Structure 1
């Protein structure tokens, strides 16, 4: 299907979204808040669109989804590392590694995982979500790529690194329409997996595109409420109208539209716009 939709990541916080977004926008260059309401914040970090959700304690972020920051010359990797590592966990300290001359992986005080890389990226998207396939999923990276390529017609592989002694991949970077996504596998056992606290949002200009992505991404997975689903790998997606914010902010119908949204699984644009 030819798509005019767009993708961006969403971070779930336990009522800390305002504080987290202010912190990120003060730390990362070329960053700003672009919109907010009682529940969500829209913001840009280094020009990359991200959403924050004031979701409550139901879900917590895990290292199964992290965010690569390709610093290049645009951001000080040392400054980002020193500030982001405060108050939580350093998974890889800032150092030289076989895959990068300067790299670090930290979990910040809000629970968000960042992989900082001194390397640049030849794209306006400087921050790239990374899905880590662990435990019984660790040999499913190639399968996941094939699945996503089938869903998103305008897709291609940008980089692949094989998993030693396996036909699968250790690392891959792909492009889904115009959105770059990293995928990794871990040979070690972990006590975490994908969680709705890290999701990918697809904004769709038409009901036909909502219907398409809902059915294709949800096949073999789990359909949930309010436009959310888990795909067959457990990755959470939100399939929403492109003008959802405008619909819910309408002074006349916004409250009823929200009530309608909360009663739906797949979102229906016409019922959101005319909830009475």
Structure 2
């Protein structure tokens, strides 16, 4: 019996390739690859040791990505937190500014230009 594997799957409309490449370029261990499954290009993105699956829906939906689900990234240094936050913020929406909070000395929450939400903080 094969062990189950859970990985985030992000549905977009026309921006998956751009997002996959941007995330792979931003993270030091980032890598983006694609393959076609049942006529749809599926992107696999490796970031911070996590595999994300991304695709552009061939069907238009009445919903998008919500910040209620986010990628939670823990970094070893404040410098890395700031670099990632600054890389994800342009043309996005800051949900919690980069600052010290009771739960982290350096933390920020941003919804990037592709609509994906990221919480980034120092590992305590």
Q: TM-score, normalised by structure 1?
A: 0.38
Distance in 2, matches of 1:172 and 1:214, equals 23
**Could you say which residue in structure 2 is the equivalent of 1:239?**
120
Map 1:89-108 → 2, pairs under 5 A = none
Residue 130 (1) aligns with residue 9 (2)? yes
How many residue pairs get aligned? The number is 114
| Structure 2 counterpart SS, 1:200 | strand
Q: 1:158: how far off?
A: 4.6
Distance in 2, matches of 1:238 and 1:173, equals 20
Q: CA RMSD in A?
A: 2.0
Task: Report the structure, 1 or 2, having the larger strand content.
Answer: 2
Map 1:1-276 → 2, pairs under 5 A = 73-74=2-3, 126-133=5-12, 138-161=13-36, 164=39, 170-225=41-96, 227-243=108-124
1:204–1:241 Cα contact (<8 Å) kept: yes
Distance in 2, matches of 1:232 and 1:217, equals 8
Q: 1:163: how far off?
A: 8.7
Q: 1:159: how far off?
A: 4.2
Q: Structure 2 unaligned runs (5+)? A: 98-107
Distance in 2, matches of 1:196 and 1:232, equals 13
Q: TM-score, normalised by structure 2?
A: 0.81
| Structure 1 counterpart SS, 2:62 | coil
Distance in 2, matches of 1:158 and 1:148, equals 12
1:170–1:186 Cα contact (<8 Å) kept: no
Instruction: Between the two structures, name the one with larger relative contact order (CA 8 Å, sep ≥ 6).
Output: 2
Change (3 A) 1:163 1:146: farther
